[in-house]
Amino acid sequence: MSAPVGPGPVSAARPVTGVITDLLRRTRWREPLVIAHRGASGHRPEHTLAAYQLAIDMGADVIEPDLVSTRDGVLVARHENEVSGTTDVAERAEFAGRFTTKTIDGRELSGWFTEDFTLAELRSLRARERLPWLRPRNTRYDGRYRIPTFAEVLGLARRESVRRRRRIGVYPETKHPTYFAGIGLPLEPPLLRELGQVGWDRRSAPVFVQSFEVSNLRWLSTRTRVRLVQLVGSAGAPYDVVAAGGDTRYADMVTPRGLAALSGYAFGVGPDKSLLIPRAAGDVLGEATAVVDDAHAAGLVVHPHTFRDEAVFLPADRSGARWAGDGDPLRELLRFLDLGVDGLFGDYPDTVCAARALWFAARRRRAA
């Protein structure tokens, strides 16, 4: 926990946590937020300290670690608990016997899973690019970085906040919380413990905690004051709802009634971007829905996901030739900024920062 805040230099009586608290009370984010999705994952292997550092260098306001657990209950940053696609584990003979098949959120998966490794064992692995066929330039960094812990991600954000004298936040996502709770490794208690140890367990902390499930966010809402964000997929339903026999779909959650219900436990909503502007015939951007306005009316911030530069992810009227390398994502981003969103998740934080700068410049011209 942070020491009492008061004037004066860092000392034994006033540790660095107090300095960080002072700094973050004096500074504010420049909204809409630029949220670095898994770090600068378009430029470096995702969920590495190098990807998070580069995102901060590029101007991101917030870095996003997905969290899973090790066998000894330590939270680490990986997109999935199955790590054959993001590490060199398949090439490590000493771990060949750990290959197994499991059912995760109703889907059968084969590979190597973080919960079968101690932290020390996972730290011996090296990260690699998850999408080498799409981002071949990132493969030059394969083998350079290890899997970071959540504590290390928090430490990076806090150090860079002080060094740059600007507010840098973290946006952890709890991955497969029902599954991890079911195997005796719930994610939420260690998450709260890590945040508490650095004094980032209050409403004013530069933290958002997100999940595609509902019950864990409701549980957290009774035990922490940090801001919670309900993620909403483009289709389907939260796994915990499905597992409990419920019938609530993601589509129900972005209706006015559904958003009002979310506001009872969440600070914001993180919808798939297609729920805000769906694709029309010809894979072009269609007409905007009312989700942003309805969410704001319910008192929720809106942080859509995920924006990427590659042409395959862009609408046809923005990307030029399909599968032809990088497209032109700026117009897509500007269209979403015009909706009034409060932040955007992006694999290329430099591109999102550029779009935000263009959007602010256009607003200034219109106001002149």
Annotated catalytic residues are: 37, 79
Half-sphere exposure of 311 (CA within 13 A, CB side): 11
The vertex-114 CA angle with 108 and 116, nearest 5°, equals 85
Cis preceding-peptide flag for 32 (omega within 30 of 0): yes
User: Of 148, 142, 116, 123, which is closest to residue 45 (Cα–Cα)?
Assistant: 142
User: Of 311, 318, 309, which is closest to residue 353 (Cα–Cα)?
Assistant: 309
**What is each CA distance from 331 to 199, 281, 336, in whole angstroms?**
39, 18, 9
Amino acid letter at 347?
Answer: D
Please write down the HEC assignment for all residues of 219-235: HHHCCCCCEEEEEECCC
Do the beta carbons of residue 86 and residue 127 sit within 8 Å? yes
Task: Return the structure tokens found at 76.
Answer: 């680490």
User: Of 343, 240, 335, which is closest to residue 284 (Cα–Cα)?
Assistant: 335
Half-sphere exposure of 353 (CA within 13 A, CB side): 14
- Cα–Cα dist 167/148, whole Å: 21
